[in-house]
């Protein structure tokens, strides 16, 4: 189960990266693709939280054992949302203004 959940989290993270980079292209800024890039990041965070809740403290992984309480596991989801917010701010304040000038 751990391998399956980890693989699923990796797939969602790769989807996040793909959607994020393809949100900007010749067709202009694609808002829906950009939104889905954030959603896939949030799903990755949720999966990481689930993995931590299920396997932390069971000596499966030294990294997972760090998140040995539900509060610590929830930090993974909080980190995903914080990364999403930071990325959104960077795109909104730095990327879009330059992108719209050249488009």
Judged against a pLDDT cut of 60, whether residue 101 lies above it is answered with: yes
Q: Is the pTM for the entire model greater than 0.95?
A: no
Mean pLDDT confidence for 22-30 = 82
pLDDT tens-digit profile of 34-73?
999 999 999 999 999 999 999 988 888 888 889 888 889 8
Nearest-5° Cα angle at 85, 79 to 90: 125
What pLDDT shows up at residue 82?
93
Residue 100 has pLDDT above 80, yes or no: no
**Cα gap 37→83, rounded to integer Å:** 12
Query: 91: which strand partners?
Result: none
More confident residue, 27 or 30: 30
pLDDT band at 103 (very low <50, low <70, confident <90, very high): low
Q: How would DSSP label each residue in the chain?
A: -HHHHHHHHHHHHHHHHHHHHHTEETTEE-HHHHHHHHHHHHHHHHHHHHHHHHHTTTTS-HHHHTT-SHHHHHHHHHHHHHHHHHHHHHIIIIIHHHHHHH-
């Amino acid at each position: 189960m751990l391998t399956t959940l980890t693989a699923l989290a990796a797939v969602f993270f790769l989807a996040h990266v793909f959607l994020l980079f393809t949100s900007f292209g010749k067709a202009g800024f694609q808002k829906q693709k950009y939104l889905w890039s954030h959603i896939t990041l949030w799903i990755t965070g949720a999966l990481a939280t689930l993995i931590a809740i299920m396997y932390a403290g069971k000596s499966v992984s030294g990294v997972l054992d760090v998140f040995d309480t539900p509060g610590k596991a929830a930090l993974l989801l909080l980190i995903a949302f914080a990364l999403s917010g930071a990325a959104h701010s960077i795109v909104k304040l730095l990327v879009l203004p330059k992108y719209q000038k050249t488009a």
